């Protein structure tokens, strides 16, 4: 059975990717299977670049085809911030609450209709022969003035999806998978996997 390394410590992502890869004869290996996981600095200025960086580092470290994703929130009126710094927007060790607070402070004088934003997810799959596949998914929404919902993580309570009339944090996991940026990227990956994984 072929092996694939998932370059993430996020158990929710591992579960999502494992489900996507279930139809294939692939054994999933994760950072939890390593004695010494890498600490890959996300130094690129795009989601695609960081996803490729992480996947390449783990492919070289393990010798297995490796998959990584990088994702975050892009707010139009903030010129794309927090962007690739979404997880550390209020500081390197910032919490979700601190990041959300900083975002709301920056948008406090912005009219509601101008608080347009999108979540973006880039997924990179890197093989030992250095071939690379990168897919991207996005979801358009608005940033609201106060958190709503108790599900999800990060900026989910502030990200309102007009199509669903809910924030990410108000959605069940199955609902979120109909709209989310990562689910859309994973759908694209599932369409190309048969041609790249033989």
Average pLDDT over the chain reads 91
Amino acid 153: pLDDT: 86
Amino acid 64: pLDDT: 93
Residue 1 pLDDT > 60, yes or no? no
Residue 198 pLDDT > 70, yes or no? no
Residue 37 pLDDT > 90, yes or no? no
Amino acid 169: pLDDT: 95
**By residue range, what is the domain housing residue 98?**
2-196
Percent of the chain at pLDDT > 70 equals: 98
Which of the residues are catalytic? 70
- Pick from 175, 108, 178: nearest CA to 139: 178
Count of domains in the chain?
1
* 162 secondary structure, DSSP code: T
Structural contact between residues 73 and 159, judged by C-beta atoms closer than 8 angstroms: yes
Sign of CA dihedral 173, 193, 139, 100: positive
Amino acid 114: pLDDT: 96
CATH, residue 144: 3.90.950.10
Amino acid 149: pLDDT: 95
pLDDT digits (tens, 9 = 90+) for 125-175: 999 998 999 999 999 999 999 999 998 889 999 999 999 999 999 999 888
Residue 197 pLDDT > 80, yes or no? no
Amino acid 156: pLDDT: 94
Amino acid 140: pLDDT: 97
* Among the ranges given (8-17, 31-40, 65-74, 180-189), the one the predictor scored with the smallest mean pLDDT: 8-17
* 82 secondary structure, DSSP code: B
Crossing angle, helix 11-20 and helix 181-196, to 10 degrees?
40
Q: Which residue would you say has higher pLDDT here, 193 or 107?
A: 107
Q: What is the pTM of this model?
A: 0.88
């Amino acid at each position: 059975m072929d092996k694939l390394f998932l370059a993430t410590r996020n158990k929710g992502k591992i579960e999502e990717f494992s489900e996507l890869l279930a139809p294939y004869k692939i054994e999933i290996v994760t950072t939890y299977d390593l004695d010494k996981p890498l600490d890959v600095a996300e130094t690129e200025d795009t989601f695609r670049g960081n996803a490729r960086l992480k996947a390449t580092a783990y492919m070289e470290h393990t010798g297995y085809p490796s998959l990584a994703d990088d994702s975050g929130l892009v707010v139009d009126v903030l010129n794309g911030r927090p962007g690739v710094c979404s997880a550390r927007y209020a500081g390197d060790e910032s919490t979700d609450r601190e990041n959300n607070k900083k975002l709301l402070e920056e948008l406090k004088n912005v009219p509601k209709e101008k608080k347009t934003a999108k979540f973006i997810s880039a997924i990179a799959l890197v093989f030992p022969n250095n071939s690379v596949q990168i897919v991207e998914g996005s979801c358009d929404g608005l940033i609201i003035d106060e958190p709503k919902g108790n599900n999800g993580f990060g900026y989910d309570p502030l990200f309102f999806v007009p199509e669903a009339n809910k924030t990410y944090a108000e959605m069940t996991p199955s609902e979120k998978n109909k709209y989310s940026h990562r689910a859309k990227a994973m759908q694209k990956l599932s369409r190309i996997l048969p041609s790249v994984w033989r």
